[in-house]
Amino acid sequence: MKQNHRKNGASLRKNGNSPRKEIVEPPRRLGDEDISIADLRARLGDLVSRVSYKHDRVVITKHGRPVAALISASDMEKFQELEDWNDVQAVKAGLRDAKKNGTIPLETVLREFGLKQGRDDLQRRTH
């Protein structure tokens, strides 16, 4: 599973401000059906068939609020491709910003964000 990481990919400017985000957000489309968790349990087989063959999207609600979605595996692959494309765009934007505005030494960034560099990884300070 892909780890959650900083999506904007932008480097800090010398003045400490982040540059404007240039990320394309996926379209916000509500599901073809909203269903409560209780109803989902009773209809799961039918819903999985609809999602996989008809590419319907089902929004799962808890207390009337959307909490998850049931989508086809091919739709999930498309969302993953979109996320990967966004990541590439964020890296490109960060590189453009670094070329235009310069970079900040790693030690400065670590200090400002309360991080320390461990042997294998960056770790949050514990004190």
> Residue 2: its pLDDT value, please?
41
For 116, the token pair is 């320390």
Residues whose CB falls within 8 Å of the CB of residue 60, separated by 6 or more in sequence, listed in order: 34, 35, 36, 37, 40, 66, 67, 68, 69, 70
Q: Where in the chain is the domain with CATH 3.40.1620.10?
A: 30-71
What DSSP state is assigned to residue 31? -
What DSSP state is assigned to residue 21? P
> Residue 116: its pLDDT value, please?
79
pLDDT tens-digit profile of 59-109? 998 888 889 999 999 999 999 999 999 999 999 999 999 999 999 888 888
CATH class of the domain whose range is 30-71: alpha beta
Q: Is pLDDT of 1 > 80? A: no
Nearest Cα to 57, choosing from 23, 25, 27, 24? 27
Confidence of residue 47 (pLDDT cuts 50, 70, 90): very high
> Residue 16: its pLDDT value, please?
53
pLDDT tens-digit profile of 5-24? 444 444 444 555 555 555 55
